[in-house]
Amino acid sequence: MPLDHYVTLGHSGLRVSPLCLGAMTFGEDWGWGSSVKDSEQILDAFVARGGNFIDTANAYTKGHSEKIIGDHVGRHAAKRDRLVIATKFFSNLYPGDPNGGGSNRKAIIAACEHSLRRLQTSYIDLYWMHAWEVNTPIEETMRALEDLVRDGKVRYLGFSDTPAWKCAEAQLLARFRGWAPLVALQIEYSLLQRTVEGELMPMARELGMGVTPWSPLKGGVLTGKYARDKHGKHEPGRGAWTVSALNDKAYDLIEELGRIARELDTTQSRVAIAWVQGRPGVTSTIIGARTLQQLEDNLAAVDVRLTAEQLGRLEALTKPALNFPADMLANGAAFYQGGTTINGRTAPPWPGSPKDDSERY
């Protein structure tokens, strides 16, 4: 699917590109990332290829990420209106202020105003709750977000890094109250992080939330730059978070990705991103790029087509152990289908069921 073949986000009419440009790397304020000039070049290249979906957050590079986007496109109406700009609230940028972050009404409204100022725009296309905050009732969060939508400051809503049961509660509350619903879910999803397939992914499909995975390359682990024979010698920019993912299971996967990349005459990064983008429920995968070269490599993932055999090899190495009752439900068809085929799935009869009328009470 080319980058300019747009898809609707969840149960909404919002059209977004199948890859989303993550702007967490915009700015060098955290000691790594892209300079302002490089960030602008990356943004321009993404848009020139047909990309229209940009993801940032109030916390990224201490707010500099939003400012870079605002300086480059936000202040130019013709450029800004062509883009779907998503940002997030939750993180506290004001040490000592207990209401400087989180998901209470005071924090949300203040964070929105600051983001609008940095982005130099009058509206945010998609406003994410960056993570669930346990101290605030979800009714308060959803009503505050509804007010921002009604005020025209926010167009669509989404949750990031929130348990499935809390997302479901928020979504049903919005539906019954007639408030703006959640149309998107942002979660970590990659060949090395598949536990979301137990609850979050099926919940999103059932409740109309388009999934936008982050870290499809697991912080660079799946790019091919890490090798088993150099274990312990790596100094990744993401530090301990990346190092902790480098184990025998990861190296087995990295080597298999390399074999598949050679078969397809492509790169490991593209194969890993293509796998994520092809998962049921995924709308637009978030790709980060610190350099223009990395961007171009990642964008080419839209042209990668994995065969069923290649998908099977990757799945065999990465099948996750899911929480109860995932395994029980996976085998549940035998209990209720009676040996028939329903929606293309055939299951044998349950051995404990009567064999004929003579065994029925």
> Using one digit for the tens of pLDDT, what is the confidence trace for 277-297?
999 999 999 999 999 999 999
Mean of the per-residue pLDDT values for the chain?
94
**Confidence at residue 190, expressed as pLDDT on a 0 to 100 scale:** 98
Q: Is residue 187 part of a domain?
A: yes
Residue 72 domain flag = yes
Residue 324 lies in a domain: no
User: What percentage of residues in the chain have a pLDDT greater than 90?
Assistant: 84
Task: Indicate the pLDDT class of residue 243, thresholds 50, 70 and 90.
Answer: confident
Q: How high is the pLDDT of residue 119?
A: 98
336 contacts 268 by C-beta, under 8 angstroms? no
122 with 153: CB under 8 angstroms? Answer: yes
CATH number at residue 27: 3.20.20.100
The confidence score (pLDDT) of residue 125 equals 98
pLDDT of the residue at 233 = 63
What is the per-residue pLDDT across 37-89, written as a single tens digit (0 to 9) for each?
999 999 999 999 999 999 999 999 999 999 999 999 999 999 999 999 999 99
Classify residue 159: in a domain, yes or no: yes
Asked, for residue 348, whether it belongs to a domain, the answer is no
Report the domain count for the chain. 1
In a domain, 257, yes or no: no
pLDDT in tens, 302-354: 999 999 999 999 999 999 999 999 988 888 888 889 899 999 999 998 888 88
102 in a domain, yes or no? yes
- What average pLDDT score do residues 163-182 get? 98
pLDDT at 240: 67
Find the domain containing 36 and state its range. Answer: 7-222+271-309
- Looking at the predicted structure, is the pLDDT value of residue 237 above 60? no
Confidence of residue 100 (pLDDT cuts 50, 70, 90): very high
Structural contact between residues 348 and 337, judged by C-beta atoms closer than 8 angstroms = no
Per the domain annotation, does 182 fall within a domain?
yes
Stretch 115-119: mean pLDDT: 98
What is the number of alpha carbons within 13 Å of residue 4 lying toward its C-beta? 7
Confidence of residue 228 (pLDDT cuts 50, 70, 90): confident
pLDDT-above-70 percentage for the chain: 97
Q: Which residues are catalytic?
A: 60
